Amino acid sequence: MAMTIHVDIVSAEGEIFSGVAEMIYAPAVMGEVGIAPRHTPLVTQLKPGEIRVDTGSGKDMQHFYVSGGILEIQPHVVTVLADTAIRATDLDEAAAQEAKRRAEEAMADRSAEFEYAKAQSELAEAVAQLRAIERIRKGKRG
Amino acid sequence: MAGAKEIRTQIGSIKNTSKITKAMEMVAASKMRKAQNRMAATRPYAEKMRKVIGHLFHAHPEYKHTFMIEREVKRVGYIIVSSDRGLCGGLNNNLFRKLVKELKEHRDAGTEIEFCTIGNKALGFFGRFGGNIVSQATHLGDMPHIEDLIGTVKVMLDAYAEGKIDRIYIAYNNFVNTMTQSPTFEQLVPIPSTMEEDLKHHWDYIYEPDSKEVLDNLLGRYVESLVYQAVVENGACEQSARMVAMKSASDNAKNLIDELQLIYNKARQAAITQEISEIVGGAAAV
């Protein structure tokens, strides 16, 4: 029997593939890599592209598309941590700026949802007080 | 017949409320199942990620990433995961109360605190609590996507990399089972190395393109995946807490209706008795 290597392809939102293979081809940033069993330990980033898994035994190759991620190789295990999001430094930066801006907005202008959450908690307190008063009154009457 | 009509309207309004709570309970139950599935789906990624990070600690990279180095703590950052909506029992309040206790310890020790809030409730609470909220994310919905969190987390990680924050924690509700959710705090960065030094053999990965870039990427993703998992777990907690809260609300409504029904029946019976005795008394007088 041919030598095999265990392959796990996972993304943050679910498992994509798990099984044994004879050969894996992945789109690393420095060029496509082919991984055979007993490959030396390696970590690399992936670029958008196709991962092909040769499960051997004459079956067709399995294809998976990834939009990037991390590839980790241990002699008997290959792990692909695939991204579900499209990543780029400037995109990430923009998202960070956006999150910051939202926080500043919420801190500065204490209206809308922010007030709503506050009002809701105050309302809950008031309702609890009313209930207590009602209970006391009932107790007196009864 | 004093109060009978009032009691009847009260019963009616409680019945309406109990219909709503019953519906919310059922919605929460079905959402909870989905949220639990989602939680199970994210687990393999987190596990694999942890494994890779574990390997990385065993390896001896020539480049030490800032996320792996402990430093003196002057400022701490908290990523707080909460729900967007209320009516889920004490879920958020339990978390906040426990957190406030811990924050007080930090304050007493003279450490400054920065917040990153996820979810409306945390934003509302910690806005009033008086802290510096550096980033936030709300309205993630029932199906949170990692894209929605990248920016929020990046603000914190950047602050850490620049040395503005010396430690980052995450606070969220850990899903134990449907009935139990436990408020949990974890240290995110610097990554706590639980692995004991393993000096069996000295090895390191080959890094492509180079160790700095790969580690930057990998550790950033590691933290993101932990935050994402916390968000998903908190989502499942929210639904199950809401289900339990709504169930007890429906039960209470049922009890209340039973009690009021009894009072109503008594009042009605009393009124009838009175009427009969009046008629009998009237007839006897004639």
Confidence of residue B140 (pLDDT cuts 50, 70, 90): confident
Pairing of strands B132-137, A5-11: unpaired
Helix (H, G, I), strand (E, B) or coil at B151: helix
B245-280: pLDDT as tens digits: 999 999 999 999 999 999 999 999 999 999 999 999
Q: Closest chain B residue to A93 measured between Cα atoms?
A: B151
- Pick A115 or B149 by higher pLDDT: B149
* CB-based contact B208 A84, cutoff 8 Å: no
**Alpha-carbon distance B154 to B161, whole Å?**
10
Question: In the structure, what pLDDT confidence band is assigned to residue A87 with cuts at 50, 70 and 90?
Answer: low
- Residue B236 confidence (pLDDT): 93
Give yes or no for residue B16 having a pLDDT over 60: yes
Residues 161-200 of B with CB under 8 A from A: none
> CB contacts < 8 Å between A and B, how many?
149
Residue A8 has its nearest CB partner, among B48, B128, B155, at: B48
Partners of residue B120 in chain A, C-beta under 8 Å? 113, 117
Residue B43 has what pLDDT?
87
Predicted confidence band of residue A142 (pLDDT cuts 50, 70, 90):
very low
Among left, alpha and beta (phi > 0; psi -120 to 50; other), residue B29 is alpha
* Residue B157 pLDDT > 70: yes
Average of per-residue pLDDT across A50-61? 83
Q: What is the pLDDT of residue B189?
A: 84
**Per-residue pLDDT at B239:** 94
- Per-residue confidence (pLDDT) for residue B264, from 0 to 100: 94
Q: Does the distance separating the beta carbons of B151 and A96 come in below 8 Å?
A: yes
Q: Is A111 exposed, middle or buried (0-12, 13-18, 19+ CB in 10 A)?
A: exposed
pLDDT beyond 90 at B138: no
Test mutation, A10, A16, A46, A120, chain B, max B CBs within 10 A = A10
- Average pLDDT score, chain A: 80
Residues B171-185: what's their mean pLDDT?
Answer: 92
- Give the closest of B45, B206, B209 to A81, CB-based: B45
Q: Is B187's pLDDT higher than 60?
A: yes
Closest by CA position to B91, among listed B67, B63, B119 = B119
Q: With beta carbons under 8 A apart, name residues in chain A contacting B214.
A: 43-45, 70
Question: In 3-state terms, chain B is what percent helix, strand and coil (to 5)?
Answer: 60, 15, 25
Mean pLDDT on B195-204: 59
Mean residue pLDDT across chain B: 88
Q: Which of A29, A113, A120 sits opposite B209 (nearest CB)?
A: A29
Q: Which of residues 102-131 of A touch B (CB under 8 A)?
A: 102-103, 106-107, 110, 113-114, 117-118, 120-121, 124
Per-residue pLDDT band at A98 (split at 50, 70, 90): confident
User: Residue A70 and residue A74: Cα distance in Å, rounded?
Assistant: 13
Q: Quote the longest CA-to-CA distance of chain B.
A: 115
Q: Which residues of A touch B224 (CB under 8 A)?
A: 12
pTM: predicted TM-score of the whole model, two decimal places: 0.82
A window 22-81, beta carbon within 8 A of B: 28-30, 40-45, 70, 72, 74, 79, 81
Q: Does the pLDDT at position B105 exceed 70?
A: yes
Instruction: Tell which residue, B229, B225, B228, B231, has the closest CA to residue B82.
Output: B231
Least confident of A82-86, B84-88, B239-243: A82-86
The pLDDT, as a whole number, for residue B242 is: 94
Q: Which residue has the tokens 């987390």?
A: B153
ipTM of the complex model: 0.74
- Stretch B223-228: mean pLDDT: 90
Instruction: Please give the DSSP secondary-structure letter assigned to residue B200.
Output: S
Cβ separation A15–B44 shorter than 8 A: yes
How far is residue A44's CA from residue B67's CA, in Å, rounded to a whole number?
Answer: 19
